[in-house]
Amino acid sequence: MKIQNMPEDNLKVVNEDFKYFFLHNFSKVKNFALKILKSEEDAEDIAQDIFVKLWSLPEVWRGKNDIDGYMFIMVRNHIFDFIKQKEIRKNYREEFSPEIETLKSDLNIEEEFFAKELKLAVKVIIHQMPERRREVYLMSRIKGKSNKEIAELLNLSVRTVERHLYLAQLELKKIFS
């Protein structure tokens, strides 16, 4: 009987049985996989996969003394599948690596080009601003001066500085619309 169709009382018993089964067999399965794979992480993954499969098949593991042979065959087959999949992924990466790198470099070139184009557009707009607005904007955004500092340096009111910055931002927003 599959776990999904099992009444709740029976499921509690199966949970306890499986817990016992898992605790007594996990290290054996993991160590067997480790001997073949020579990777702690991969062996752990394989062992977990095996016990996930076994959990849904209580008729296979419940109350059987000769489960070791069956389990080790499962592990061996799972490892073969794992190695095949790993090889397929490796071959795929090797085969398509140049195309992937080309795509990445094309994207970087496009991004770089767009950034340069944007910087140029900003420079043009700033250059086209009235002199005082350009001066206020550059002092604020490039030199990092506060509105009050700009007002004092240029002998303007803070409100006038704010107005210049507002108008400069409106002009710059035209780039994005």
Amino acid type, 13: V
pLDDT at site 157: 93
Per the CB < 8 A criterion, the answer to whether 115 and 122 are in contact is no
Residue % of the chain over a pLDDT of 90: 35
What is the average per-residue pLDDT within 104-117? 73
pLDDT at site 14: 65
How far CA 112 is from CA of 19, 48, 142, 170, in Å, comes to 57, 45, 22, 25
Cβ contacts of 33 within 8 Å, gap of 6 or more: 42, 43, 46, 47, 75, 79
Dihedral of CA atoms 164, 170, 171, 172 in degrees, nearest 10, equals 110
Task: Give pLDDT tens digits for 132-175.
Answer: 999 999 999 888 999 999 999 999 999 999 999 999 989 888 87
**Spatial separation of the C-alpha atoms in residues 19 and 173, rounded to whole Å:** 64
pLDDT at 5 over 70: no
Task: Give pLDDT tens digits for 20-51.
Answer: 888 988 999 999 999 999 999 999 999 999 98
What pTM did the predictor assign? 0.48
More confident residue, 74 or 3: 74
More confident residue, 173 or 8: 173
Amino acid type, 19: K
Per the CB < 8 A criterion, the answer to whether 136 and 164 are in contact is yes
pLDDT at site 119: 83
pLDDT at site 1: 45
Per the CB < 8 A criterion, the answer to whether 175 and 118 are in contact is yes
